[in-house]
Every structure is written in C-alpha cells, then in structure tokens.
C-alpha cells in the first residue's frame, strides 16, 4: 500500500523531525550567509568607488573597512596581515621611527574586515562619518582638497554601483539567463489572441480561429522572437489600436501562420496584452525545506492530488 505525501509525513520515524529541523537550520544559515555575502559585496563596490576617487584626489585614506565594530583582521602595506587592527602598532612604529627613516615604508591605509558585516566605510584624513568634528590642515586632508574634487569623492560610490550594475547586466545576458521560450501556453478566451484569424488560414486549411497552446512564435513585427518576454514587451510597447504581426509555427502545419492581432488593455496590469501566457513545464517544482514539503503535501491533499510529490514530472 502506497502512502500519500501527507500520510507519509505523519507516519515518519520520531527521529525525522529532529533531522528536518537540523536541515532547516542549515538552509536558513546558508540563506543568511548568502545574503550577508551579497550585501557585503555591494557595500565593497560602493566603498571602492569612494576609495579610488580619494586616492585620485590625493586625499590620505586611513581605513578601507567592510563592516562596523572591532576589526576581525586587517592588512597594511609594510606590516602585512594582522588579526585585529594594526592601528596601534602603526602609530607605535611612527613614534619610534620619528626622525629616522623607516626600514620598511608603511602605508597609512589599513584594509580591515570588521565583526558586524552590515555596511562599510572609507576613513579619510579630516573626514570621518563617525566623528564629524574631525578636521585636519594637512595638505593631503579632505578639507585641503578643492570642493569639486570633494564632490567627485562623495558621488563616486553611487557611480561605481551604477557601473557595476551595467557590467553585471551585460555579463548575465552574455552568459545566459533562464527564461520562458516563445511558446504559447494558456490563451484567455476574453482577449484578442483567442479570436485572431491567420491571413493564410484558408491556404493552410486552418478552420479554428485563435492562437493555441503549443504554438511557437517565430517573429514579432519582423524581428526574431527568442523568448516569451519579447512578445510581452512588444505587445505592451505597441501603439494603441495598432496590430502586432506574428509568424507562428503550429505543430502539424507545414508553413508558419501569419497573424495580426490588435492588443487590448489587460484587466489586471492595465497594459496592452494579447491574452496569452507562456508555456508551463510539466515538472513540479522542487521543495527543499521540511516544513515546505509538509505544506506542499497538505496542499496536494486539499486538491485531491494525492501521490504528487515535489520534483515529479506529470
């Protein structure tokens, strides 16, 4: 006798809930780690913009930090890697080497990773976010820099984020992004796609009007259709009352259908629409967390779909 997912979930070994709870905690820790890594990387890119602009402007940078609070580890040219901050050691060597040439030149900039990875900062001579009263008359201080260069330094973080976003966009689309192909799935009978008639329907022996599930869109207004989003964008951006020309390949039909459809306003989004949805996969989505699997089993039980499990192909 085969148990449905809900019955199986209720008859498992007593040890299983502990294992499920442990796996859920691991998944949560993984998600939190990915979030902190992603957020920290965005902060790094932002602060890198300030740092590079400050170096370009000739401002002395005292610290480039990811996170807040005490330092976990740090690096300073001339001193190397240190657990914690190297600031006290740096200041001590400056005092001991006063009036004498240092055997190894030391950089004034400390690169540090702090305990609380929820932000970051660039500390410049004469400009500290945590100490607004910090000023300096040194020639390489923030105050001694011309105002237009200071504006460049302040805005460089946002500019770096924009540059990174543009490069990431190009990279993702060069590598590839998973998206729905230009295949027709559900066709809403209340929209024009359901009643459209191909201009060559008689020649091809097509008697039923409308697009059908399984139709493959080849071109949109003469341009190749590579993904379903091309169809959605072309429809939404078309002029009101103007037809959208499609070449559609239908299974069992030797030649493409030539269809012109005038979009209408979508009831939900308010944008122009043909009333079609992308083709859906027959594979049930995978569920990783134990509590999500239990909720999935209950949902399938309510829908009278006992035996349907995550990852199945229907």
Last residue of a domain, one of 112, 140, 175: 175
User: Which CATH number does the domain housing residue 266 bear?
Assistant: 2.30.42.10
- Cβ(212)–Cβ(187) below 8 Å: yes
Same domain, 50 and 95: yes
Residue 155 CA to residue 153 CA, distance in Å, equals 6
> In terms of Cα–Cα distance, which of 236, 235, 190 is closest to 217?
235
Same domain, 127 and 197: no
Residue 142 CA to residue 59 CA, distance in Å, equals 6
Domain membership of residue 293 (yes or no) is no
Q: What is the residue-level pLDDT of the chain in tens, covering all 314 positions?
A: 444 444 444 444 455 566 666 666 777 788 888 888 888 899 999 999 999 999 999 999 999 999 989 999 999 998 999 999 999 999 988 888 765 655 668 899 999 999 988 888 999 998 876 667 777 889 999 989 999 999 999 999 999 999 999 999 888 877 766 778 899 998 999 999 999 999 999 999 998 999 999 999 999 999 999 899 999 999 999 999 999 999 999 998 999 999 999 999 998 888 999 999 998 776 777 777 777 777 778 877 877 777 777 777 76
Residue 209: Cβ-neighbour burial (10 angstroms; 0-12, 13-18, 19+): middle
Same domain, 89 and 170: yes
Q: Where are the alpha helices (DSSP H) in 138-206?
A: 147-175, 201-204
How do strand 257-261 and strand 264-265 relate by DSSP bridges?
unpaired
Residue 314 CA to residue 99 CA, distance in Å, equals 81
Same domain, 40 and 151: yes
Domain membership of residue 41 (yes or no) is yes
Same domain, 79 and 192: no
Same domain, 109 and 207: no
> In terms of Cα–Cα distance, which of 168, 142, 129, 130 is closest to 53?
142
Same domain, 242 and 264: yes
Same domain, 158 and 211: no
> In terms of Cα–Cα distance, which of 224, 219, 225 is closest to 257?
219
> In terms of Cα–Cα distance, which of 222, 220, 214 is closest to 277?
214
Domain membership of residue 73 (yes or no) is yes
Last residue of a domain, one of 175, 206, 228: 175
Its domain, for residue 209, covers: 184-278
Q: How many CB atoms lie within 10 A of CB 144?
A: 15
Torsions phi, psi for 246 (to 5 deg):
-125, 140
Same domain, 161 and 224: no
Our count of domains for the chain comes to: 2
Domain membership of residue 296 (yes or no) is no
């Amino acid at each position: 006798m085969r148990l449905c997912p809900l019955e199986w979930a209720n008859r498992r070994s007593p040890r299983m809930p502990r294992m499920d709870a442990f796996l859920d905690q691991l998944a949560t820790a993984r998600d939190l780690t990915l979030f902190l890594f992603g957020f920290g990387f965005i902060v790094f890119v932002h602060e890198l913009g300030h740092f590079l602009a400050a170096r370009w402007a000739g401002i002395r940078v005292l610290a480039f930090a990811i996170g807040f609070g005490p330092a976990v580890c740090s690096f300073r040219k001339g001193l190397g890697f240190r657990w914690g901050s190297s600031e006290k050691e740096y200041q001590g060597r400056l005092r001991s080497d006063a009036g004498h040439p240092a055997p190894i030149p030391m950089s004034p900039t400390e690169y540090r990773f702090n305990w609380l990875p929820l932000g970051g900062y660039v500390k410049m001579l004469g400009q500290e976010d945590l100490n607004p009263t910090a000023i300096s008359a040194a020639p390489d201080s923030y105050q001694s820099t011309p105002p237009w260069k200071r504006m460049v330094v302040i805005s460089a973080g946002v500019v770096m984020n924009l540059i990174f976003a543009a490069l990431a966009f190009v990279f993702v689309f060069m590598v590839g992004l998973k998206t729905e192909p230009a295949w027709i799935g559900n066709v809403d009978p209340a929209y024009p796609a359901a009643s459209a008639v191909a201009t060559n329907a008689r020649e091809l022996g097509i008697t039923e009007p409308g697009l059908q599930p399984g139709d493959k869109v080849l071109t949109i207004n003469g341009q190749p259709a590579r993904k379903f989003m091309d169809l959605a964008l072309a429809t939404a951006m078309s002029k009101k009352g103007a037809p959208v020309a499609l070449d559609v390949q239908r299974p069992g039909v030797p030649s493409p259908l030539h269809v012109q459809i005038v979009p209408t306003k979508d009831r939900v989004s308010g944008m122009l629409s043909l009333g079609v949805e992308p083709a859906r996969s027959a594979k049930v989505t995978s569920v990783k967390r134990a509590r999500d699997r239990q909720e999935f089993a209950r949902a399938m039980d309510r829908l009278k779909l006992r035996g349907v499990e995550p990852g199945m192909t229907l």
